[in-house]
Structure 1
Amino acid sequence: MKLNRIITAVIASVASVGLLAGCSGDGKGDSEASGGAETRTVTDSSGADVEVPADPKNVATLHYAATETLMDLELPPVGQGGYQEPTVPKDWVDELSDIPVVAQEEPDLEKLAEVSPDLILAPNILEPDMITQMEEIAPVYQFTLRGGDRANWQQRVQEVADAINQTDQLAKLDADFEAEQKRIAKEYGDAIEGTKLGVVSSYEDNSAYLWGSENMVSSLFTPLGFDWSAKEDESIKKYAKATQGGNKSGIKEPEAQISMEVLDKSLSDADIIFVTSNMRGEYDELTQKMLDSAVFKDLPAAKAGHVYPHGKATIAGYADAKYGVDMAEKAIRDYQKG
């Protein structure tokens, strides 16, 4: 089926229920044109003002970074970006498996149109032409995935919640999460005071990926009382590239891919090393290869047996964040044993 035929059919269907209505200046839709449906105007991460349904019912997400927030809020999308099963909470697997996948590296416009979204949540890495094509299907709100604000995952979650008009509901999730961090910091603060932490992943053969003190993982672990590896931050400052990972902002992010040859210099001062895993505490093949390397095994933290899985380094929402903090508490208990 040709795309223009799909889009025409979708627009006709959506228009029939009044979701493509115009918007007056006060954020309420024109009832005559919209059949009573209301809209509101929000500003997305690109700076664009986007007219969205005031109460969207059929939200499509093009990346799991937005899907998780909807799942956290118990508002599953009608279409979603691709994901790997072990990287999502176990109790979400069945529900997510029933939601059509409408995007992998790029959106599949035909599949996207078929789920009839009234709002599309897109990461800020897509080309303008793709955004324009999707706007023929439904309003497109771009949220922050890459760029200078990448580390602030709570900002991204807030953006998604704002787009779907759920910021009040999000506030309780945030309060509960911060309370848990404070509990752990109070309970274990004396034991880990002055303990230096490093976080590392591996996404390519013969390389490691460093996550620094200004990255999203720091927002999980620093409030618990950890200090950050100064050596890791130094390496990131030296090796970070503004073009990595689809970043189009031109701003270096506080993370860096390095060769294994400089890994020893990057984490030599870390007392504990957290290693990125899935949401089951398992390592993938590349990560295991890094862990098995002579250079990694020679790190002081590895020799002392203080290497632990922590979950995901790219935090999509509060489910990821809570898992990471839970894993950190387990690591702290082990570290206390000496």
Structure 2
Amino acid sequence: MHHVHLRRAAGALVLTLAMTAGCGSTGSAGQQASTGAGADQSAAATRVFAADNGEVTIPADPKRVVATGYAVPSLIEADAALVGISSWRRGLPMMSDEDRATYDRLEKIAGETAAETNYEAIAKAKPDLIVIGVPAPAMADLDMDRLKSIAPVVAIGPTVPSAWRELSQRQSDAAGRSVNFGEAKAAYEKKAGELAAKYKDALSSLKFGHVGAYGEIAGGTFQREFAGSWGTNIATDIGVSYYGEVKKKGGNAADVTEYPSIEELNESLGEADAITYTVQADGKPNEAVQYVLDSKLWKSLPAVKAGKAFPIRYTEAATYASAMKTLDAIDQALAPLLAQ
């Protein structure tokens, strides 16, 4: 469930995302918990993990993992020992063929929202760890006591959009796949660095603005995203500079995005030298973005008149592997700057 929709329905997110690599494992990962006489000590090894729901004792090497929400793509990519997942339709266009095959194969134990959790299906999957990756407001729709009766539960949910980096790291760590996470992170950083060098001169003097995909036509608003939001945080990694900030910070996602009226388009984006805007995986804008593009005020913006408005695909990437597609899309979109 997209964080913007949750924000509108339940208010600003209230999680505080732990930023420390290693994700709060305390004590020895070799801390043992015997399961009876003759039990395999290594199979019973546990550790204490610092999750959003407190310190939780989990298996050191989980063998049967259930994942929901934002934990789904990160744990598929990390090759975690998954036995059940929630659906994650918003991320399907960004999955590799191999990851999509894994997604399709796995048992769906929940729908797109936390309220669509199937507790019987989770119990039937016999997990030894449940990783909940939903925003704080959605946690109210979960029966945590029931989940805890099935297996240890760690909640690792999103705050600001750019925090997917730490979020996916913590989720991978909980599932015992930190090494796999590190490989994906290194590949992303290498590619982002190469693009930063490629566009350094072209981007150095430009101030960017961004139009996101979640404005409301009925309310006559558009979504302005600032640095750290979905549409901007990956572009920032290659040197794109987004100017300004929200007029009134509301905490978490509301710190990096706002919803001005369409009449405020010039006031909001008039200082931009260039503008990026979110489009769907097929390259087409959704209705909310098309509403902005069709506005006479849009056509009068200096950046648009100068031919510096660039559509960006895959702006909702929430893992390093999926963000590689976003980097490719940004490279493709900004290529005309190299010829100017």
Whole-Å Cα distance in 2 between the matches of residues 151 and 212 of structure 1?
Answer: 11
TM-score (norm 2): 0.77
Q: Does 1:200 align with 2:211?
A: yes
94-103 vs 167-176, which moves further: 94-103
- Count of equivalent residues: 300
Deviations 1:114-159 (A, max 9, x none): 333222111242028622221112211111313xx55322110111
The corresponding residue for 2:76 is 71
Matched position secondary structure for 1:114: helix
Matched position secondary structure for 1:315: coil
Whole-Å Cα distance in 1 between the matches of residues 315 and 255 of structure 2?
Answer: 14
Whole-Å Cα distance in 1 between the matches of residues 265 and 301 of structure 2?
Answer: 9
Structure 2 CA distance for partners of 1:49 and 1:310, relative to 1, 3 Å: same
Structure 2 CA distance for partners of 1:241 and 1:99, relative to 1, 3 Å: same
Whole-Å Cα distance in 2 between the matches of residues 289 and 324 of structure 1?
Answer: 23
Q: Does 1:213 align with 2:227?
A: yes
Structure 2 CA distance for partners of 1:35 and 1:278, relative to 1, 3 Å: farther
Whole-Å Cα distance in 2 between the matches of residues 113 and 299 of structure 1?
Answer: 55
Structure 1 segment 8-157 matched on structure 2, within 5 A: 27-32=31-36, 35-36=39-40, 37=43, 38-46=45-53, 48-63=54-69, 65-75=70-80, 77-84=82-89, 87-89=93-95, 91=97, 92-101=99-108, 102-106=110-114, 107-122=117-132, 123-125=134-136, 126-127=139-140, 130-146=143-159, 150-157=161-168
Matched position secondary structure for 1:179: helix
Question: 1:256 Cα shift?
Answer: 2.1
Whether the 8 Å contact between 1:194 and 1:226 is mirrored in structure 2 is no
Whole-Å Cα distance in 2 between the matches of residues 281 and 34 of structure 1?
Answer: 59
Matched position secondary structure for 2:83: coil
The one-letter code of the counterpart of 2:258 is A
Question: 1:95 Cα shift?
Answer: 3.2
Whether the 8 Å contact between 1:296 and 1:302 is mirrored in structure 2 is yes
Whole-Å Cα distance in 2 between the matches of residues 164 and 39 of structure 1?
Answer: 12
TM-score (norm 1): 0.78
The corresponding residue for 2:8 is none
Whether the 8 Å contact between 1:59 and 1:77 is mirrored in structure 2 is yes
- List runs of 5+ in structure 1 lacking aligned partners: 1-22
The corresponding residue for 1:15 is none
Question: 1:182 Cα shift?
Answer: 1.3
Whole-Å Cα distance in 1 between the matches of residues 169 and 32 of structure 2?
Answer: 22
Structure 2 CA distance for partners of 1:321 and 1:88, relative to 1, 3 Å: closer
Question: 1:241 Cα shift?
Answer: 3.1
- List runs of 5+ in structure 2 lacking aligned partners: 1-26
Pick aligned residue for 1:299 from 293, 298, 301: 301
Whether the 8 Å contact between 1:199 and 1:275 is mirrored in structure 2 is yes
Q: Does 1:229 align with 2:279?
A: no
